Structures are given as structure tokens and as C-alpha cells.
């Protein structure tokens, strides 16, 4: 579990088409006004990307899950899918997108990649372009799981996710967690954010609107969630 980003990447690579969990919430209509080009980061099965494409937008969907993207490309819906990692330089031109979407994507990305991610987003956005963000915030109900992870992960407020979801309630000591890690019962490690951390990642952009809402995460848990708009100005 030394490289958390790489471990999470391996997890998503194993998902089968049609099975990637997603968040149903869509960007507010006012963000779509005067928008032409959209990048859906961590597009998964392309549910949102294809819905936006049907509305007439020029939509690009990227993901690290190769088998999912290959399957998405088979559908006769005009979304430009590609296998790309947003924490590295993508093959899109500078200042190409009006809107970039993150929905429970950053939760899989750890701090070693924050700087590169922020730089790439800044490069890709047009002047006046927008990032719409929907990402999990720290929650008191997860305090025990944060504490359990603290000896194993340098990032604050991380949570170990298990292949068997029931283990989340059964593992109560660091010794039990260490045993589960050794037995390969851990699927990935997700990050819950402080608002200041999100501001740091997108520090070259201006936070113009935000609120905290409760949403059901892709894992099925109710969680406090940051909905924010960052703008290239």
C-alpha cells in the first residue's frame, strides 16, 4: 500500500463495464450556459458524459480503467473517450475546455499527485472556464476509520475500503487493520477532504461558489460533500 494512487488505479482497472458506481448528481444548468467543450474526469461508464453529449455539448470522457473506456467506445453516442490520467499531462491542447467535471474522483487521488493535477487543470481550462467539483468532506461518523488509517497513511482523513464492505464495521483496532492489509482484503484507500485542501489543489483558480450537501457516495454511504465552482480568471 506504499503507492496509494497506484493501488487505487489497480482497483478501478478490475471493474467490469456497467458496474462502476457513480453519483447521479449533474452540474447545475447555469454552468452549462455558453459552454461548448466539457471534460468528464473519471467518466466511468460514461453515464453523465453521454447525457451531456445528447444535449449537444462536445464531451470528452477520460478514465484510467482501460476495459471500461474500450467498452464505452463501442456505443454509438458521440463522446470522445480516451484512457488518460489527469495527474499527468493529457493529450488535449492548452485552454481547450469550458467546463471540467470531478464527481467523487479526487477521493481516489492522494496528495503526492495534487500539484501535477492542479497544473494540468489550469492548463486545460479556457479563460473564464469552470471546474465543477463534487467531492467528499471529512465527516465525524468516519472518525474511527480515520484514526485506524493514521498509522498506515500519511494523508489525513483517509479511509480503508474493503472488498467485503461488512469488514468496515468489524475492524476496530490497528492490529486488525494490519492483518486485513496483509491478507489483501483492502480494495483501496480513499481520501476525505478539508475545504482548504481542495482550495490548495485548485489554487490557480478562483472559488466562486460552494456549499456543503449530504449525498450518497458511490459506496452507498451518506456523506458530507463539497459542491464547488472554481473559475479560471
The residue-averaged pLDDT of 194-199 equals 97
Predicted pLDDT of residue 19: 73
- Tens of pLDDT, residues 93-129: 999 999 999 999 999 998 999 999 999 999 999 999 9
DSSP state of 16: P
The residue-averaged pLDDT of 46-50 equals 95
Predicted pLDDT of residue 1: 47
The residue-averaged pLDDT of 64-69 equals 91
Q: What is the torsional sign of CA 172, 223, 48, 158?
A: negative
Cβ 37 vs Cβ 58: under 8 Å: yes
- Distance of alpha carbon 35 from alpha carbon 29, whole angstroms: 10
Give CA 99 to chain center in angstroms. 15
Whether 171 shows a pLDDT value over 60: the answer reads yes
Whether 230 shows a pLDDT value over 70: the answer reads yes
Whether 183 shows a pLDDT value over 50: the answer reads yes
Share of the chain above pLDDT 70, in %: 99
- Distance of alpha carbon 76 from alpha carbon 114, whole angstroms: 35
Q: Which of 127, 124, 188, 132 is nearest to 158 (CA)?
A: 188
Predicted pLDDT of residue 2: 52
Whether 16 shows a pLDDT value over 90: the answer reads no
Whether 13 shows a pLDDT value over 80: the answer reads no
The residue-averaged pLDDT of 204-220 equals 89
DSSP string, 112-175: GGHHHHHHHHHHHEEEEEEEEEEEEBP-GGGHHHHHHHTTT-SSSSEEEEESSTTHHHH--SHH
Between 58 and 76, name the one with better pLDDT.
Answer: 58
- As a whole number, the mean pLDDT across the chain is 92
- Distance of alpha carbon 79 from alpha carbon 1, whole angstroms: 34
- Tens of pLDDT, residues 130-162: 999 999 999 998 999 999 999 899 889 999 999
The residue-averaged pLDDT of 73-93 equals 94
Distances (CA, A) of 52 to 35, 85, 186: 11, 21, 34
Q: What count of other Cβ atoms lies within 10 Å of the Cβ of residue 194?
A: 13
pTM of the model: 0.93
Terminal-to-terminal C-alpha distance of the chain: 38
- Distance of alpha carbon 77 from alpha carbon 67, whole angstroms: 17
Amino acid at each position: 500500500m506504499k503507492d496509494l494512487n497506484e493501488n487505487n488505479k489497480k482497483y478501478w482497472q478490475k471493474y467490469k463495464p456497467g458496474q462502476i458506481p457513480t453519483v447521479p448528481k449533474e452540474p447545475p444548468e447555469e454552468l452549462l450556459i455558453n459552454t461548448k467543450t466539457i471534460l468528464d474526469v473519471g467518466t466511468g461508464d460514461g453515464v453523465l458524459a453521454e447525457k451531456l453529449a445528447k444535449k449537444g455539448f462536445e464531451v470528452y470522457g477520460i478514465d484510467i480503467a482501460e476495459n471500461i473506456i474500450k467498452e464505452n467506445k463501442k456505443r454509438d453516442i458521440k463522446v470522445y473517450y480516451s484512457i488518460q490520467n489527469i495527474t499527468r499531462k493529457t493529450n488535449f491542447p492548452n485552454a481547450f475546455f469550458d467546463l471540467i467535471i470531478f464527481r467523487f474522483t479526487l477521493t481516489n487521488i492522494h496528495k503526492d499527485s495534487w500539484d501535477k493535477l492542479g497544473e494540468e487543470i489550469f492548463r486545460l481550462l479556457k479563460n473564464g472556464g469552470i471546474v465543477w467539483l463534487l467531492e467528499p468532506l471529512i465527516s465525524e461518523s468516519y472518525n474511527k476509520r480515520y484514526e485506524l488509517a493514521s498509522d498506515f497513511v500519511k494523508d489525513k482523513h483517509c479511509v480503508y475500503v474493503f472488498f467485503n464492505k461488512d469488514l468496515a464495521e468489524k475492524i476496530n483496532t490497528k492490529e486488525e487493520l494490519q492483518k486485513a492489509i496483509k491478507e489483501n482484503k483492502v480494495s483501496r484507500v480513499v481520501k476525505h477532504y478539508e475545504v482548504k485542501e481542495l482550495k490548495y489543489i485548485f489554487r490557480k483558480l478562483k472559488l466562486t461558489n460552494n456549499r456543503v450537501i449530504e449525498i450518497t457516495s458511490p459506496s452507498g454511504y451518506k456523506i458530507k460533500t463539497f459542491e464547488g465552482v472554481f473559475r479560471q480568471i
